[in-house]
Copies of this chain bind each other. A is one copy, B any other.
Amino acid sequence: MDKVGIKEIAAKANVSIATVSYVLNGTRNVRPQTKERVLKVIEELKYKPNNIAKSLKSKKTNTIGVIAEDITVFNVPEIIDGINEYADRYDLHIVLTNLRLHKRVGHNYSNIGAFRKYAENAVSDLLAKQVDGIIYIGIHPRDVTGLIDPGDTPIVYTYCYTKNELSIQYNDEQASYDAIEYLYKKGHHRIAVITGLMDSIPSRLRFNGYFKAVTDFELPFEPQLIKVGNWGLESGLKLTKELLELADPPTALLVMNDVMAAGSLRAARSMGVRVPEDLSLVGFDNREFSDYLNPRITTMNLPLHEMGYSSMRSLLRIIGGDEEHAAEQVPLCVLIERESVAPLVD
């Protein structure tokens, strides 16, 4: 089966290749008769267009390059899904590059130098493929300024920060503020918090929100109720135990990710502390499994899908020359109420 191009169909339909092109793209009026004839031949010869050739001419590929730091990290697939929804709607295609950071550099991804080569290669490949724009998806909200140079190609970052280009992020500070407010309205005053590593932006932002809420609601500020974790389950377990062993333990606990929250649950159980009866617990991330734990935990949802979708919208605006309106309002987190919080009665 030889390749059939518009030339072949032109010959068989007794028209010029131009006409074929025009009926294919509806880019000029063609006599219905001719048009039909051409269409019939296209059908018969099972013509398949070649977008490569088309792109070469038109200088537009209608494809967006997506660089994901690691597609196996929980936040990434949903962000890509949001990108896809936009892409589907506007008939764009996605070229995906997976940096595979986790498997390649482990948890050392804060050290930008360690994977700059990978990132630079990804960008070169994408540029060579003439993508119309690039979206960079981080696996941890940190500053990634200077990692790559996309040249003239528009780029939008998400789930990470950058000083020079647009980055789409959710509002961490607001989110933890909301969580504390929620707990406060349930009657809790002595609210403990387990943060992530404090060299991370979201940890600081979330702590800011916590502190702001504590101030606004005039809650007691007790440093021993503040624990710094490392995002891992074991640290959630250990720190929750410490909290529970306090002479005057907190009645509620905000844990800055669901994995540590799973550790909190384990700690509580091992000490005979019931959740939520004796301790209210709020997690962060709304990981799928937070609904599988026992009790099902109340947690802060991340607007991942929306971040992907917004990134695309912003990128397309930039590509369209509308830089002004590219910056979207930041996607918001909303609390998912489940079973791990009870009102404080006493």
Chain A positions near chain B (C-beta within 8 angstroms):
1, 46, 48-53, 55-56, 61, 63, 66, 70-72, 74, 76-78, 80-81, 84-85, 88, 93-98, 100, 103, 124-125, 127-130, 151-152, 233, 259, 262, 265-266, 269, 287-289, 291-294
Contact = CB atoms under 8 A, between A and B. Distances in A.
A130 B125 CA distance: 17
A150 to B, nearest CB: 11
Contacts of A80: 71, 96, 98
A77 B78 contact: no
Contacts of A76: 77
B100 A51 contact: no
A233 B292 CA distance: 8
Given A70-B81, A265-B294, A294-B294, 17 more contacts: A48-B151, A49-B128, A51-B128, A51-B129, A52-B61, A53-B56, A56-B56, A63-B129, A72-B81, A76-B77, A84-B100, A85-B100, A96-B96, A266-B294, A288-B289, A289-B292, A292-B293
Contacts of A61: 52
A124 B48 CA distance: 8
Contacts of A127: 48
Given A94-B96, A100-B81, A125-B93, A52 B56 contact: yes
Given A84-B71, A94-B96, A269-B294, A129 B52 contact: yes
**Number of copies of chain A assembled together:** 2
Contacts of A74: 288
B128 A48 contact: yes
Given A128-B49, A129-B51, A130-B51, A88 B100 contact: yes
Nearest to A262: B292
22 contacts: A48-B124, A48-B128, A49-B128, A50-B56, A51-B129, A51-B130, A52-B52, A52-B61, A52-B129, A53-B56, A63-B95, A63-B129, A71-B77, A71-B84, A74-B288, A80-B96, A85-B100, A94-B96, A262-B289, A262-B292, A265-B294, A292-B293
Contact of A72 (B70, B78, B269): B78
Contacts of A152: 1
Nearest to A289: B289
Contacts of A129: 51-52, 63, 93
A128 B85 contact: no
A204 B343 CA distance: 47
A194 to B, nearest CB: 15
Contacts of A125: 93
B50 A128 contact: yes
A257 to B, nearest CB: 11
A280 B236 CA distance: 27
A269 B292 CA distance: 13
